[in-house]
Structures are given as structure tokens and as C-alpha cells.
Chains A and B, each alone.
Chain A
Amino acid sequence: MNVLFISIDSLSRHFLNCYQPNAEIDVETPNIDAFANRAAVFDSHYAGSLPCMPARREWLTGTQEFLWRAWGPIEPFDSTLPEMARRNGVLSQLITDHYHYFQHGSNGYVDDFNGFEFIRGQEYDRWMTHPRSPDANFLGRITEDAPEDSDDINLDSATASDEFDDVRYMNRAVYARNATDLEEESDFFAPQVFSKTAEWLSNNTEWPEWFCYVDSFDVHEPFHVPEPYASMYTDEDPKDPDLPIWPYYGRVNEGQSQLTQRELDFVKSQFAGGVTMVDKWFGTVVDRLKTENLWDETVVILTSDHGFFLGDHGNVGKPFEAPVFDVLAQTPLIVWHPESPQMGERISELTAAVDLYATIVELFDSGFSESRHSKSLLPLLMEDRTDHRDWAVYGYWGSSMNITDGEFTYHHPCDESMPTECYSTTMMDSIGWFTPQKPKFDAEASTDLPYTDCPVWKFEGPSHSRHDEPLLFDTEADPFQDENLAQRADGERNRMETLLADALKSLRAPQNQIERLGLG
């Protein structure tokens, strides 16, 4: 069986018609809707380690890394999906515009694939260096005093670095250079990613079995979309230089992330436009599977790493100060399996992102079903089982801890005064993920990782709490998590806290985690 794994980054599931309740914007996604109607829709699927690269280590290695380390590389003791594919004689291919794979802090994710295609230019991708001074239109896109007729990337000046030619890391003016040649819709990133995928499917029909991993950076910010999508969900002029497409993360009502209602509405409209654009090009891949007679011999997995706050709970982006609400953590998962009796059905069992690893390896090798922290979803797809998971834990390294039983979510604060231990064979920067590593002279050798005998470095990093008090939500009755029940429902809160303590114990989480959470 072939496996086509597609991630659409930051795809908040309430922007999809196949999930309810829905966003206030009625977003057109006809191709994902049609795919969902034919496939199995997982109703209670949760992210694990957040954000981008931690999610990818969950998918590619079956590791809930956020209990032990932050955003970082593949470790020597990981067995990646493409490596498992090789061991089973399966060809593997990566098609992506997700530049984090090639940035400081995350090496090793690409190396095991038989082939990879990398579409350049997203966000801060260190790609185009000329012209030093972006042309007038592009310069206009990052300045408030843009000419009236400037083209359309409205990067507010407050969101750029001091100067367009500031060569330090992460200057947003880089995007103005990268995006210089984006003119037609087909030039944009998701269209390129999905076109390359369709092309690859056609060019590789001679291989008996393959694993193709498609990782689309869209609909991640910057929310730069061409027409007709830019105007599809707004009456504003998308070229209006006063309207942002790349907001800072944080509270919408203060500081550098502050947005007026008009600005926030515009950001939402561009996000929604991106979703519709991605949907269109996803549809071309589904069509190609059918025209190449691959549909009946390919498992198609469509998911996302996390959602994105668009004013939800007063936040924009994925700010470190916001609790990990379901807008971020409850992700879409839709699976087509040509031999599953569950096609066209909904699966209500609680599932977790980390489970996709064991699912895919089991598709390579029928003797495999569990590994490290991952449990295959195939029994749910093939046997109508109802005993998959009692809990899913999720969050960011060094932060508060979150758990769901599929009905309630519980969010446990941490003691910010206690550092969090980080375990890795590298001296990763536990906060400044995108900049060069610095030596950690206080690091100690440790053999404390419960899933390998390999010694690693152990060092401390700062904790950060997202909330001071516990939070509890009944997500069936209150899907947008507006009412914190933690003070009123002692019984449920105690039950969920006990469930969290038991879950951490079963995962053999570090004692330091137990202590900083006060669960000892």
C-alpha cells in the first residue's frame, strides 16, 4: 500500500466545513469536503508536541518530545519514517516549502528520504539576497508610507526589522525579496507544492510501493495570497498598505501584536483565502491519484500540526502567553484507506498526532503497531475498535501541561521559578530555536531518557507559565472553551489532574516535570 501524508500547516479545523462548530467565515473548501465525505473523519484528534518542528518529530519518529526537550533535531536514537520505509523496501519522498527543515535548530529531518523537493522562499527562508534594496513596490510592501499603487504585501513597518538591509537573522524584509516573482497563482507556494506532488505521482508509478510526505507551509503566516483568494472574504482592498498580513503573536488589544477590529477582520479574510487556495490545489492531487489509478492502492492522510488564533480568546498567532486552547491543539485528521470499512464514517475515538507514526509504519510492515509513544490508528480504521486512548497530552516544552480525555480538557500551570530540564544529544537552544547554538558549560551527561540507553546532554532552561490557575473545559458542551470549570467542578478537575499525573507516570516523564507541575 502507498502512503500519501499531507500536512497543511496551521490549518485551524474550524475553518473546514467537515468540522463543527465552524468559524464565522463560511470558507469554501469543496475538495477537502469531498475528500472528507469519502474518507474517515477523526473528530477528536489532538496535537502533541508544539509547535512546528516538535509536531514533525512526533509524526516522523513517534516521540512526544515536549516532556524532554524543545524544538530541535532528529536524534541519533530516532527511527524516522523514511528510514522505516527503507527497511521495508518502500521508496520515500518529501515535497515541501517548509523552510524550518533547513534552519538552525532542526537538522536530520530530510536526510533519510530517497528524494526531496524543496520550494524556496516561505516566510524567513534565507533564499534571495538580491536586490539589496527591494524594488519600489516591494519596499512599499514593508513600509507604512507605501505608494498608492504599490503591489500587495502589506508588511507593516513595525513588523520589519529596523532596515531592509539589516543582515541579522529573521529580517522580514527577506520575504519581500523572496516574493518578488510571485505573480500568477501558480507561482505561489501551495500551488507549487501540490503541483510538484501531482507531478511526482505521475513520474513514479513504476515503483511498487512508496511513502510521499507532503508538508505545505501554507496556511501559515505571512497570509500572502493572490487573487481571487485575497478578495474572496473581504470587501477591503487587499493592496491597502494599512492592512497587515503578518501579525505579531500576542494579545490583539495591546503591544506589538495589537490589531484594530478592521485589521483583525482583514487578517482572518486572508487566512480564509489561503485555506481556499490550498483546498483547490489539494484537489489537483486527489484528481491525479485517480487519473493515475493510484486511488485504490494509496492511503491518504490529511492533517495539520496546529491551529492559529485569529482573535480567539483575545489572541493572535501562537503566543507563548496563551493557554493551549483547542483552537491550537485540536487538529483536523482525515484518512482515506481503500480497504477500510470506515470510509465515509466519522471516528469519535480520541487520537493523537504521535499515533500517525505507528500507523504509517504498520502500513509498511504489518507486524508493527506500537512504538515509543505512538499507537497505530489502523485498528480504528479496519476493526471499528473503541479502546484506542484514554488520554492525550500536549503542549510546549517548559510550559504548562495539557491533557484531554476526549470530553474535557485540563490545563495545569507550572511553577515558573523552577527551570525545566532539557535532554538532547545536542546543546539545543531551548528558546531561541532559529539562531546558532551556544555552548552550554553547565550541561551534564545523562542516561535518564526512558526510551533509549543512549547518553544525552542534560541542561536547564527557563519555564514559562501560560496561566496561573488550572483551567478545565467541557469541550462537548463548550467547544470554544469559554467557560473555565476548574473552580466549580472540583470532582472533574481532580479526576483530570489524576489522569494527568498517571499519564506522565506511564510516559516515564522526568521527575523534574512532575516537580515543576507540583504533581509529586
Chain B
Amino acid sequence: MIANLVNLIAIMTDDARACIVQCCKNNDAMAIRELLDDDCHDIRDSFCLQRCGECYDTAFVVVDGDKIEYDREDPPATLPEFLITEGAR
């Protein structure tokens, strides 16, 4: 768990790296699809990411295998900056 947390922090703070960002079509993640920087990252739309409980309750994307939740009321302010297209925040 600790190692995973460290990895997640690394992902959220390293704005130079290109990531695989998985969006669940059944989740509000699809609503922020246009915010995501698809020039830098590989954005993948999945029909289901097998996170049904979290999906039911929360908006999220999966970045290089790690789930990142955000506030569906204010995605630009709560998504990690490195994921977002420049100027969208």
C-alpha cells in the first residue's frame, strides 16, 4: 500500500511524463474527456474498469494503473494538473 502511494504521488507530481489514462464510459470520467491532454498522454476509453462501487459513488480516471478520484463538481480544480490540457484549468 505504501509503495503504491509513493507511486501515485510520483504520478501526480511528475508533470513531464506521458501516461496511459483510462476513462470509464459509465463514469463521469467521460464528461472530462475533453479536458484531458491527449497530446501528452494516451487516453483510453473503456466500457467498464471493474471499479463498480467507486464508479457508482465517485468520478475517477486510472493513470498508469492507479485510480485518481476527482470532484465531479469541479474537475479542472481537482484533477492533477499534468493530466489537463494547457489553459483548461
Q: Which residues of A contact B (CB under 8 A)?
A: 142-145, 157-158, 160-162, 168-171, 248-250, 254-256, 258, 319-321, 431-436, 462, 464
For A256, list chain B residues within 8 Å (CB): 22, 49, 62, 65-66
Complex CA gap A162/B54 in Å reads: 10
Complex CA gap A431/B65 in Å reads: 21
Contact residues, B1-45 vs A (CB, 8 A):
1-4, 20, 22, 25-26, 42, 44
Let me know if B48 and A431 touch, CB within 8 A: yes
**Closest Cβ of chain A: how far from B9's Cβ, in Å?**
14
**Closest Cβ of chain B: how far from A412's Cβ, in Å?**
17
Q: Please, could you name 20 A-B residue pairs with CB atoms under 8 Å apart, sorted by A? A: A143-B2, A144-B1, A145-B2, A158-B65, A160-B1, A168-B56, A168-B58, A169-B52, A170-B51, A248-B49, A249-B50, A255-B20, A255-B62, A256-B22, A258-B65, A320-B48, A431-B47, A432-B55, A435-B56, A462-B26
Complex CA gap A160/B47 in Å reads: 20
Determine if B73 is an interface residue (Cβ-Cβ < 8 Å).
Answer: no
**Closest Cβ of chain A: how far from B58's Cβ, in Å?**
8
If over half of A's interface residues share one DSSP class (helix, strand or loop), that class is named, otherwise mixed; here it is: loop
Complex CA gap A464/B50 in Å reads: 16
A146 — nearest CB in chain B belongs to which residue?
B1
Contacts A258-B65, A431-B26 given; 10 further ones with Cβ under 8 A? A144-B2, A144-B4, A158-B66, A170-B54, A254-B44, A255-B44, A256-B65, A256-B66, A435-B52, A464-B47
Q: Which residues of B contact A (CB under 8 A)?
A: 1-4, 20, 22, 25-26, 42, 44, 46-58, 62, 64-67
Let me know if B25 and A436 touch, CB within 8 A: no
Contact of B56 among A258, A321, A436 (CB under 8 A): A436
**Closest Cβ of chain B: how far from A317's Cβ, in Å?**
8
Let me know if B47 and A169 touch, CB within 8 A: no
A171-B53 CB under 8 A given contacts A157-B1, A256-B62: yes
**Closest Cβ of chain A: how far from B14's Cβ, in Å?**
18
**Closest Cβ of chain A: how far from B61's Cβ, in Å?**
11
Complex CA gap A168/B42 in Å reads: 29
Let me know if A158 and B20 touch, CB within 8 A: no
B58 — nearest CB in chain A belongs to which residue?
A168
A168-B46 CB under 8 A given contacts A157-B1, A158-B66: no
Complex CA gap A145/B6 in Å reads: 12
For B64, list chain A residues within 8 Å (CB): 255
Let me know if A432 and B49 touch, CB within 8 A: no
Complex CA gap A433/B48 in Å reads: 11
